[in-house]
Structure 1
Amino acid sequence: MRRSRPISIAVGAPSAGRGGRVSSRTAKASLAAGLALSVCALAGCSSSSGPAAGGGGARTGNIRVLANITPVLTKAYYQGLVAPFVKSHPGVTVTIESPSGTNVQSTLQQELVSGSAPDIVASTLDPVVAQQMIAFPDSSWVTSTPLSDSNKVDGKIWQVATGQQNQSLVYYNQTAFQKAGITTPPKSLAEFTADLAKLKGAGYVGLQTAGEWVTGAQFSMMANPGLLGDDPGWYAERNKKKVTFEQSAYNTYLKAYEGWIKTGAVPKNSLGEKYQTSIDTFLAGKSGMFVMGSWLNASVNSAKNLSFKVGVFPTPTADGSTPKQMSGQAQPYSILKSSKHQGLALDLVKYLVTDKSAVTASLKSEGNFRAGYSYPGTELDAAVGKIVDTAPGTVNGTAGPGVNAGFGNELNTVVQSLYTGESADKAVAKLDSWWNANAGQ
């Protein structure tokens, strides 16, 4: 694919499109405030301001960082990110550790039990572990980080991020669309379903997916704008049993997904694919559409000899209206209370989320956004920026205040059950049953 000239992605500018620059406004208060739910029931909510506020303690030693390792966020990436900090701090080393379990969350829980927890966690975490983290100081460098209020626990910020990622996106093969006779990207769920059939008829996999965590994540990227778009406090209401999944957008999307599997628009053997394989399959030109977050831009931009041009559009809504973007903190960091190097860990985290070069490298690595920062981008980066600019707002996902611990894993299991013959009716009933059994956790 011929590369278009670089476009500067200027995040937080008041307007878009002038002079080849693309702006992306920061998410508004509805992201956090709408989902706010008291979580003081989490015993031991962090209220300590000692190490976090003062940054005391030894300034030498080894800092262990348990990081979210992905095809883009490799160990080498993190090592390069912290290298300038290490160089400017004699006597300091940083060890990047990969998850030993299925993901960072499960690995952290295992290490907490065994007493071998790291100093820093570089990954999005469920609020259930907030009690194990220090509270960051009420300083401007903390409160100015993207979506810093999005998952406060007991009024304390325990996780700070480098950027903001946008997740309710559908990447598509423009050549496949042309061969299937699709002239414009679908806006409604009905149009999306019809286009899946057209792509299958043209010899493509309609919707690229995979097993592991991908199945449930893609579903939430599609359904959450509908679930939370008009009612950002939906999870809180579910905990009060005022609403149910059966009567929500989740039921609508589960029934649509069931139909996609039955018609073969989504192959039944998709669960056998790994996350990286799903990316490779899409980039090989075998799939028509791929629901994924903005971090996919990095894989597309670095791909060699693409035979087609990749486009992007917002996930479809039930009625075809413009959806809010499911958004979240990108590359967040938390510091363990058990760390023997809290002061040094705080120095490192502050560097990672405030140093201009470190922040810019982080944003560029996954095509993320942050007010006041810009970096050279591609035409695809600009297209995502335009979607963010024109979205009517943002919603949170399957993590954050009001969402019961473990819901993301349960949703993944339920969506995957559709591939083994479970009906959408039974699947949504399982979600309600699980929530009733785990409410308040």
Structure 2
Amino acid sequence: MDRPTRTVKVAVAAGLAASLCALAGCSSSSSTTASSGGALTGNVRMLANITPVLTKAYYQGLVAPFVKSHPGVTVTIESPSGTDVQSTLQQELVSGSAPDIVASALDQVVAPQMTDFPDAAWVTSTPLSDANKVDGKIWQVSTGLQTKSLVYYNETAFQKAGITTVPKSLADFTTDLGKLQAAGYVGLQTAGEWVTGAQFGMMADPAMQGPDPTWGAERNAKKVTFAQSAYATYLKAYAGWIASGAVPKNSVGEKYQDSIDNFLAGKSGMYVMASWLTASVDSAKNLPFKVGVFPTPTVDGSAPKQVSGTAQPYSILKSSKHQALDLALVQYLVSDKAAVTTSLESEGNSRPGYSYPGTALDAAVGNIVNAAPGAVTGISGSPGVNAGFGNELNTVVQSLYTGQSADQAAAKLDAWWDANAGQ
């Protein structure tokens, strides 16, 4: 079945395109051609991360000002045909039908397929640009930063359960899950798909990398193990939540959107999710409760570092036949003041030097970020970590729902790492 597409028109002035082409190193074989008016023409395919917030209409609106002032070139927004952008891109690379631009975070394994961005101020000023380097080259530029180690909670549920302060330690979090369950709520809202492992990482990564940001490298050197780490502690806690029913055993059968809908319907007490959930909360109509937010709990109750990641990043495929146009469009998306502000506001993201009118929930997330003793990247996606770790973590955490013990889960992570380190 063909993927649904949305087409918009954009164009680039010939002078700007020529200078960008020189920076990008594109060749005269590009299928981008000059019209009689001197503007570039051609179609750019953008494979985009489509979510409940980042819809096709969102991407169309994001480029609309660029479209209005530069007619003559079409941009086709494409959604993934597989389970996610990464798998779709890999399929399309194999089939020879890769897009021109990817609007999504990608594993570093595909970096050799991407165009190196020029050493220009608009590139190096993007968030975490140094962290995005592979072999000293920037292959992905981002619009903003996302905060990930957050727990959104139902304030009405907390009141009915008799919870007067938000939990800071893992033990208090577990106790409060029981109180919420006794009050008739799902203690912790989760889902299947990618959500299970991602939530676990949002909770456990600060405890792993907060004290030791190089934990992944130390695991590669076999100096540490998952079985003797904070991951083991969180796996045991998580297994206990499932056993007690605070997290229903059928949760992995739910889809991501179902988990959002259930939380917003007031069925659950807490929901671990990144700052992009703020937009869904703020856009919801007639919520039956007020949503609050607090940092994910630590083992000892100390303030956690925040897992942070790049928000709405872009990459350009080397195989694209219109490098100049691709580069101009990406430059607009990550450096135009209005475009960046729109991007940040869409998911409640942040970037130094930018601000926008926020909601009370935006402000609460901002306060958490400001109070955090630092930030970590999260193990999945860290330099030197096998790109498949995120999928393996998801599989292992979901196995807790089918009877695997926490010790077995930790051992499986260690076995996987030993078999895949450095690959």
| Fold agreement, TM-score > 0.5 | yes
Cα deviation for residue 50 of structure 1 reads: 7.3
**In the alignment, residue 42 of structure 2 is paired with which amino acid?**
G
> Which structure 2 residues correspond to residues 261-410 of structure 1 after superposition, within 5 A?
261-397=242-378, 398-410=380-392
Q: Secondary structure at the match of 1:318?
A: coil
Correspondence for 1:149: 130
Q: How much does 1:243 deviate? A: 1.0
The amino acid of 1:107's aligned partner reads T
TM-superposed deviation, 1:51? 5.8
Find the aligned partners of 1:435 and 1:403 in 2 and give their Cα distance: 9
Structure 2 residue 422 is matched with structure 1 residue 440: yes
Does the 8 Å CA contact 1:151/1:401 hold for their aligned counterparts? no
What are the Cα deviations for residues 6-26 of structure 1, in whole angstroms up to 9, with x where unaligned?
xxxxxxxxxxxxxxxxxxxxx
Moved more, 164-173 or 151-160: 151-160
Distance (Å, rounded) in 2 between the aligned partners of 1:248 and 1:158: 33
Is the CA contact (8 Å cut-off) linking 1:258 and 1:424 kept in structure 2? Answer: yes
Pick the aligned partner of 1:425 from 400, 403, 407.
407
Aligned to 1:4: none
Tell me the residue number matched to 1:217. Answer: 198
Task: Tell me how far apart the structure 2 counterparts of residues 226 and 51 of structure 1 sit (CA, whole Å).
Answer: 46
SS in 2 for 1:268: coil
How far has the Cα of 1:152 moved from its partner? 1.1
Contact 1:126 1:400 in 2 (8 A): no
Question: What is the SS of the residue equivalent to 1:193?
Answer: helix
Residue 387 of structure 1 aligns to a residue whose secondary structure is helix
Alignment of 1:160 onto 2:163: no
TM alignment of 1:190-205, pairs within 5 A: 190-205=171-186
| 1:58-80 CA distance string (max 9 Å, x none) | 33211100000000000110111
1:256 to 212, 237, 249: 237
Superimposed CA distance per residue, residues 398-425 of structure 1 (whole angstroms, 9 cap, x where no aligned partner): 1131220111000000000000001011
Deviations 1:66-114 (Å, cap 9, x if unpaired)?
Answer: 0000000001101111122222223211100000011000000000000
Note the C-alpha offset of 1:392.
0.5
Q: Distance in 2 between matches of 1:403 and 1:262?
A: 31
| Consecutive unaligned residues in structure 1, runs of 5 or more | 1-48
Report if the CA contact (8 A) 1:55-1:346 is conserved. no
Q: Is 1:414 matched with 2:402?
A: no
2:89 aligned partner? 108
- 2:114 is matched with 133
Indicate the residue corresponding to 1:76 in structure 2: 57
Q: CA deviation at 1:384?
A: 0.2
- Per the normalisation by structure 2, the TM-score is 0.91
Query: Runs of 4 or more off by more than 6 Å in structure 1?
Result: none
CA contact 1:151–1:400 (8 Å) conserved in 2: no
Between the two proteins, the alignment pairs up a number of residues equal to 393
Instruction: Assess if the C-alpha contact under 8 Å between 1:188 and 1:316 holds in 2.
Output: yes
| CA distance in 2: counterparts of 1:332 and 1:380, whole angstroms | 24
Q: Which amino acid aligns with 2:222?
A: K
Please state whether the residue corresponding to 1:60 is helix, strand or coil. strand
Say if 2:275 and 2:349, in contact at 8 Å, map to a contact too: yes
Q: What amino acid maps onto 1:340 in structure 2?
A: K
Q: TM-score, normalised by structure 1?
A: 0.88
Question: Aligned to 1:164, what secondary structure does the other structure show?
Answer: strand
Q: Kindly provide the amino acid, as one letter, of the partner of residue 135 in structure 1.
A: D
Partner AA of 2:54 in structure 1: L
Q: Give the equivalent residue in structure 2 for 1:64.
A: 45
2:210 aligned residue: 229
Query: What SS is found at the alignment partner of 1:161?
Result: coil
Give the match's secondary structure for 2:83. coil
C-alpha change, 1:50 and 1:86, in structure 2 (3 Å) is closer
Distance 1:186 1:150 in 2: 32
Question: Is the partner of 1:332 in helix, strand or coil?
Answer: coil
Q: Is the 8 A contact 1:152 1:401 kept in 2?
A: no
- The one-letter code sitting in structure 1 at the alignment partner of 2:416 is W
CA shift, 1:247, in A, is 1.1
**1:255 counterpart SS class:** helix
SS of corresponding position for 1:76: helix
Structure 2, unmatched stretches of 5+, are: 1-19, 33-39
> Hey, what's the Cα distance between the residues in 1 that align with 2:23 and 2:178?
54
Measured at CA, do residues 55 and 388 of structure 1 come closer, stay the same or move farther in structure 2, by a change above 3 Å?
farther
* Equivalence for 1:122: 103
Contact kept in structure 2, 1:52 and 1:135, CA below 8 Å: no
**For 1:16-27, what aligned pairs fall within 5 Å after superposition?**
none
| Counterpart secondary structure, 1:128 | helix
Report the 3-state secondary structure (helix = DSSP H, G, I; strand = E; otherwise coil) of the residue aligned with 2:44: strand
SS in structure 1 of the partner of residue 400 of structure 2:
helix
Relative to 1, partners in 2 of residues 1:345 and 1:200: Cα closer, same or farther, differing over 3 Å?
A: same
Query: Structure with the greater relative contact order (CA < 8 A, sep ≥ 6): 1 or 2?
Result: 1
**Conserved 8 A contact 1:135-1:157:** yes
Corresponding letter in the other structure for 1:319? D
Residues 1:242 and 2:223 aligned together = yes
Counterpart of 2:72 (choices 64, 86, 91) is: 91
Q: Hey, what's the Cα distance between the residues in 1 that align with 2:260 and 2:392?
A: 24
| Alignment check: 8 A CA contact 2:21 2:323 kept | no
Which amino acid in 2 is paired with 1:142?
V
Q: Alignment RMSD, CA only?
A: 1.2
